[in-house]
């Protein structure tokens, strides 16, 4: 296979980000598809999950990814919304496995480190790097969509287990570090201009 | 329809309890099916969820329930296992909705109150009441299977929203209270005998 097609999924009930990228051996990435699957908060939870499942199946059917990368869910501050996010992530992982597609999970800080070089990067930094890496005309919108693309890139570029084990910054591959350095230079340049 | 067929699901990755009961208008309940769907802890999470999904689909196919009742997941003490439980519950709810079967969630204390009259009942009390209500020769084993049957009975007997709103004890229906009183009398009688 000349390139790896990765579907990134940022799980959620109200907005579930889905992004598909092709990543070549030389790590060049190309946008294939990006979108957000939505379900209405007033719907029963089971219907919401079925709606999310339908949207994810459509992306699987349309784009046949080689691998699926899903954001790893942690119980954080908002315990209520974490349950819904975990439920959506469970559906996403199950759908991949049912089709025999390998599925992986990545933490938010792994993903941020992989695409910006900094595990605590803000949403704008992630969007900016995604725009640059995928050579897009505008920032990917909304943020959930950018996060899904970032997940896909993180997986393709090998972010993951090592990032978890060794901390975000030391886990960067040379290519990721090069990107991160380029991004820092650009940011400085932009600040200098304004 | 002469009776309501309810599938209760106690979600989990290692053991997911599934129990089907028929409940007549006079609230008499009959066991249809009980079992536990298991997945091996060493399997990847996506494969585990697909295994759980396969087991639930088999029960849906074999027994065509009118409604599905799933235990509501809260982030409790063990945040790690809660994520897996929430993921399994999401899969269960989604599978019901995909088949157009109504799905409801009930909290553990609603379920305990519905079948024992006491929202903090222990597992043994729940198993004992399930054995009695369903006229079983032995205690339902393992506890996950008993919990799944208790969920199904709780739903059929109308435990739920009111129990949440008004506290477990005041929410008992007359029939539930009758069961609870009978259970208390039996327990006293048994204690007196031993």
- DSSP 3-state assignment of B169? helix
Q: Which of A71, A110, A147, A183 is catalytic?
A: A71
| Residue A2: per-residue pLDDT | 80
Res B28 pLDDT > 60: yes
Contact at CB, B94 and A93, closer than 8 angstroms = no
- Containing structural domain, residue B74: 3-193
Judge whether A41 is closer than 8 Å to chain B, CB to CB.
no
Contact at CB, A46 and B94, closer than 8 angstroms = yes
Number of residues in chain A: 194
Helix (H), strand (E), coil (C) string for chain A: CCEEEEEEEECCCCEEEEEEEEEECCCCEEEEEEEEEECCCCCCHHHHHHHHHHHHHHHHHHHCCCEEEEECCCCCCCHHHHHHHHHHHHHHHHHHHHCCCCEEEECHHHHHHHHHCCCCCCHHHHHHHHHHHCCCCCCCCCHHHHHHHHHHHHHHCCCCHHHHHHCCHHHCCHHHHHHHHHHHHHHHHHHHHC
Contact A23, A29 (CB under 8 A): yes
| Residue A165: per-residue pLDDT | 30
Q: Rounded CA gap, A134 and A150, in Å?
A: 10
Contact at CB, A98 and B73, closer than 8 angstroms = no
Strand partners, A10: A17
Q: Rounded CA gap, A138 and A128, in Å?
A: 9
Q: Which residue positions of B form the known binding site for Mg(2+)?
A: 10, 71, 144
Nearest by CB to residue B93, choosing from A46, A74, A96, is A46
> pLDDT (tens digit, 0 to 9) for every residue of chain A, 194 residues total?
589 999 999 999 999 999 999 999 999 999 999 999 999 999 999 999 999 999 999 999 999 999 999 999 876 555 667 889 999 999 999 999 999 999 999 999 999 999 999 889 999 999 999 999 999 999 988 888 999 999 999 999 986 543 333 333 334 444 555 445 544 444 444 444 43
Res B128 pLDDT > 90: yes
Q: What are phi and psi of B175, to 5 degrees?
A: -65, -40
Chain B CB contacts of A161 below 8 Å: none
Measured from the Cβ of residue B82, the count of other Cβ atoms closer than 10 Å reads 20
Domain count, chain A: 1
Query: ∠A157-A3-A65 over CA atoms, to 5°?
Result: 85
Give percent of chain A above pLDDT 70. Answer: 78
Judge whether B86 is closer than 8 Å to chain A, CB to CB.
yes
Q: What is the pLDDT of residues B56-69, one digit of tens each?
A: 999 999 999 999 99
- DSSP 3-state assignment of B168? coil
Strand partners, A63: none
The mean pLDDT value for B160-171 works out to 36
- Is residue A10 annotated as a catalytic residue, yes or no? yes
Q: What is the pLDDT of residues A52-87, one digit of tens each?
A: 999 999 999 999 999 999 999 876 555 667 889 999
Q: Rounded CA gap, A99 and B105, in Å?
A: 28
Give percent of chain B above pLDDT 70. Answer: 78
CA A14 to chain centre: 17
Pairing verdict, β A67-71 and A3-10: parallel
Residue with the bigger pLDDT between B108 and A190: it is B108
Helix (H), strand (E), coil (C) string for B7-45: EEEECCCCEEEEEEEEEECCCCEEEEEEEEEECCCCCCH
- In this prediction the ipTM stands at 0.78
Interface test with B, best of A94, A103, A105, A106 (most B CBs within 10 A): A94
Q: Which residues contact B116 (CB under 8 A, 6 or more apart)?
A: B125, B126, B129, B180, B183
| Residue B142: per-residue pLDDT | 85
Contact at CB, A88 and B90, closer than 8 angstroms = yes
What CATH number does residue B171 fall under? 3.30.420.10
Q: Which of B:108-147 have CB within 8 Å of A? A: none
Nearest by CB to residue A75, choosing from B50, B75, B105, is B75
Cα torsion angle, A158, A99, A22, A137, sign: negative
Of B26-40, B85-99, B116-130, B173-187, minimum mean pLDDT range: B173-187
Chain A CB contacts of B45 below 8 Å: 93, 103, 105
Strand partners, B21: B6, B31
Mean pLDDT of chain B: 84
How close B94 comes to chain A (CA, Å)? 5
| Residue A75: per-residue pLDDT | 62
Res B166 pLDDT > 90: no
- Is residue A147 annotated as a catalytic residue, yes or no? no
């Amino acid at each position: 296979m000349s390139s790896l097609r990765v579907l990134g999924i940022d799980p959620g009930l109200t907005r579930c980000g889905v992004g598909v990228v092709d990543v070549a051996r030389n790590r060049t990435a190309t946008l294939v598809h990006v979108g957000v699957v939505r379900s209405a908060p007033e719907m029963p939870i089971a219907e919401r999950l079925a709606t999310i499942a339908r949207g994810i199946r459509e992306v699987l059917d349309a784009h046949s990814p080689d691998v699926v990368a899903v954001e790893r869910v942690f119980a954080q501050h908002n315990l209520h919304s974490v349950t819904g996010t975990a439920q959506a992530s469970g559906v996403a992982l199950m759908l991949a496995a049912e089709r025999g597609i390998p599925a992986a999970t990545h933490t938010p800080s792994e993903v941020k480190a992989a695409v910006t070089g900094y595990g605590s990067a803000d949403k704008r930094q992630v969007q900016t790097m995604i725009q640059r890496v995928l050579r897009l005309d505008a920032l990917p919108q909304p943020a959930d969509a950018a996060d899904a693309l970032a997940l896909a890139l993180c997986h393709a570029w090998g972010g993951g287990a090592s990032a978890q084990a060794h901390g975000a910054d030391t886990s960067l591959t040379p290519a990721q570090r090069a990107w991160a350095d380029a991004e820092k230079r650009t940011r400085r340049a932009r600040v200098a201009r304004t």
